[in-house]
Amino acid sequence: MLEKLFKLKEHNTNPKTEISAGIVTFMTMAYILVVQPSFMGAAGMDVGAVTVVTAILSAIFSLFMGLYTNLPFALAPAMGSNAFFAFTLVAGGVVSWQTGLGMVFISGVIFLLLSVLGLREVIVKLIPKNVKLAIGAAVGFYIVSLGFKNGGIMQVDGSISMGDIKTPAVLLTIMGLCLLVFLMSRKVKGAVFIGIIATTIIGIPMGITQVPETLVSMPPSIEPIFMKLDIMGALKWSFFPLIFTFFVGDFFSTLGTLIGVSAKADLLDEEGNLPNIEKPFLVDSIATIVGALFGSTVVTTYIESASGVEEGGRTGLTAVSTAVCFALAIFITPIVGMIPNQATAPALIIIGLMMLSGLKDIDFSDFTESFPAFATIAFTIFTNSISNGISMGIIAYTFTKLVSGRYKELNWGIYILSIPLILYFLI
């Protein structure tokens, strides 16, 4: 049955590898079960209900992704847009959380329309090849920065500095990284999974890993946030720039994840495109719409899916396994909460390294090709946003071709695409 559903032999994989990869993906994503409720709590939403909704949505749409697309991608509420929602819009007094959810719903409808009409796929094909190659590396650097910040190795407080290596938290991260380097060097199967578990255990006597009093708990009701969105309240012309921010952010974040992680999994064609990319785009857009109905911010394809790919995940069985973990997490949130950031940070750092291989294929001999690739990577890293990186890479490509007099190499589509991206930065 598994072979028929997921074509495991065709992808040179097996159930054991896929399930292990799915578990690793879940473990690197599990922080969202803590972070999302914390952010939404700051927006005045019920924390218990948000926790359950986060697990439910992640389970449902990771399952949907796995069965419908046969790709190893998992979904959950997006980091970045949730902070924008909670702290800029709601806590900032711009809108209520109900109206904010209405804005998320509208942006999801736009995603869906573009996906059904095939326009998202057209946009992907318009992006220059060297920018696509740079996206994989940009995502890799982005994941590394996540690992550095989550593990405390890098501190961002007005300025960027190195964390105090003498503190238990940073020390545990370094120990976990050393352990993972050892396992990877020895080519140990399941190195990432073993590294996360071992680092979590090491963190117990160090006081970092908190052992819960109970391992199982009954989930609270989702009634306080379910179907509480205010769509009509969000239909104001003055809110369009904010909805546009949700749209561009999710679109290019998803694109970056799909292209970057697929490159690592050798799923791209010669032009750097993902065959049948309209399928994961469709899942992603439906997830955002349904998520808003349940009381969640934008639900998107997760960059941490790269951890499962690094473990050997190549099919939808990886995503299905992640979905099962999220479903179980509804009842075992105390166990999930045990895994500290310091245990997953080393995994993110190593996974980011593995995604830099695309750099060797970028054409550095042509400045009009290399500069846009550089802009994609640099803006992703230094603005901490995949969306910013891809958007600026496309704009830079158009600009460099124009000022170099090589405008004939541009097609009408890239001009049209550049206009809303410029507005994205100006609005």
In a domain, 38, yes or no: yes
Domain-ending residue, one of 325, 359, 393: 359
Same-domain pairing of 79 and 182: yes
Coil, helix or strand for 189? coil
Same-domain pairing of 154 and 299: yes
In a domain, 1, yes or no: no
In a domain, 4, yes or no: no
List the chain pLDDT tens, one digit each, 427 residues.
888 889 888 888 999 999 999 999 998 888 788 778 877 887 889 988 998 999 999 999 999 999 999 999 999 998 767 877 887 788 778 889 999 999 999 999 988 998 888 877 777 778 788 887 887 788 778 878 888 988 889 887 777 788 888 899 999 999 999 999 999 899 776 677 788 889 989 999 999 988 877 777 788 899 999 999 999 999 987 787 678 767 776 777 788 888 888 887 888 877 777 888 889 989 999 999 999 999 999 899 998 898 899 888 999 999 999 999 999 988 876 776 677 888 878 888 887 787 787 788 888 999 999 999 999 999 988 887 777 888 899 899 999 999 999 988 888 888 988 888 888 788 6
Same-domain pairing of 316 and 371: no
Same-domain pairing of 205 and 267: yes
In a domain, 2, yes or no: no
Question: Position 105: which residue type?
Answer: F
Same-domain pairing of 165 and 20: yes
Same-domain pairing of 297 and 398: no
Same-domain pairing of 121 and 146: yes
Same-domain pairing of 146 and 218: yes
Q: In this structure, are residues 181 and 389 in contact, taking their beta carbons and an 8 Å threshold?
A: no
Per-residue tokens: 15: 């159930």
Same-domain pairing of 311 and 394: no
Given this model, what pLDDT does residue 195 score? 85
In a domain, 317, yes or no: yes
Same-domain pairing of 20 and 58: yes
Number of domains in the chain: 2
Contacts of 325 (CB under 8 A, 6+ apart): 22, 23, 26
Q: In this structure, are residues 207 and 168 in contact, taking their beta carbons and an 8 Å threshold?
A: yes
Q: Which residue has the tokens 């072979």?
A: 3
Same-domain pairing of 282 and 269: yes
Given this model, what pLDDT does residue 118 score? 80
Domain-ending residue, one of 330, 359, 388: 359
Same-domain pairing of 408 and 319: no
Domain span including residue 140: 10-359
In a domain, 396, yes or no: yes
Contacts of 306 (CB under 8 A, 6+ apart): 139, 143, 260, 261, 264, 351, 354, 355
Domain-ending residue, one of 359, 379, 404: 359
In a domain, 99, yes or no: yes
Tell me the CA end-to-end span of the chain in Å, nearest whole number.
Answer: 51
In a domain, 408, yes or no: yes
Given this model, what pLDDT does residue 336 score? 65
Question: Position 97: which residue type?
Answer: W
Given this model, what pLDDT does residue 228 score? 95
Given this model, what pLDDT does residue 417 score? 82
3-class SS shares of the chain: helix, strand, coil, % to 5: 70, 5, 30
CA distance 141 to 351: 10
Given this model, what pLDDT does residue 73 score? 93
Spell out where 209-316 has E strands: 299-301
Per-residue tokens: 123: 């946009």
CA distance 69 to 44: 36
